[in-house]
A and B are shown apart, each in its own frame.
Chain A
Amino acid sequence: MKRLKILGELYWAFLRIGGLTFGGGLTMLPMLEHELVRKKQWLAEEELLDCYAIGQCTPGIIAVNTATFVGYKKEKVLGGIFSTLGMITPSIVIITIVAMFLRNYMNNIWLQHALGGVRGVVCALMLNTVFNLGKKSLTCKSMWAVCVVAFLLALFIGVPTIGIVVLAAIAGILLDMADQKKKGGEEA
Chain B
Amino acid sequence: MNAALILRMFWEFFKIGLFAVGGGPATLPYLMELTERFDWFTMKELTNMIAVSESTPGPLGLNMATYAGFQTLGNFGGLVSTLGLVLPSIIIICVIAEFFARFNKNPKVQAAFKAIRAAVTAIIGAAVIGLCKVSLFTQTDLGLRPEWKSCLLCVIVLVLLQNKNLKKLHPFLWFVLGAAVGLVLRF
Write the residues of chain A forming the contact surface with B, with a CB cutoff of 8 angstroms: 18-25, 28, 50, 53-65, 68-69, 72-73, 76-77, 80-81, 84, 87-88, 90-92, 94-96, 98-100, 102, 110, 112-130, 133-134, 136-139, 143-144, 146-151, 154-155, 160-162, 164-165, 167-173, 175-176
Write the residues of chain B forming the contact surface with A, with a CB cutoff of 8 angstroms: 15, 17-25, 27-30, 33, 44, 47-48, 50-63, 66-67, 70-71, 75, 78-79, 82-83, 85-86, 88-90, 92-94, 96-97, 100, 103-104, 107-108, 111-129, 131-132, 135-136, 149-151, 153-158, 161, 170-172, 174-175, 177-183, 185-187
Contact A121 B112 (CB under 8 A): no
Residues of the A chain whose Cβ atoms lie less than 8 Å from the Cβ of B60: 23-25
Contact B118 A113 (CB under 8 A): no
Residues of the A chain whose Cβ atoms lie less than 8 Å from the Cβ of B125: 130, 134, 151
Nearest-CB distance from A147 to chain B (Å)? 5
Closest 7 CB pairs of A and B: A117-B182, A172-B115, A24-B59, A116-B187, A176-B111, A168-B119, A121-B178
Cβ 8 A contact of A147, one of B118, B157, B161: B118
| 7 intermolecular pairs with C-beta atoms under 8 Å apart | A60-B17, A117-B185, A122-B131, A123-B135, A147-B122, A149-B119, A169-B113
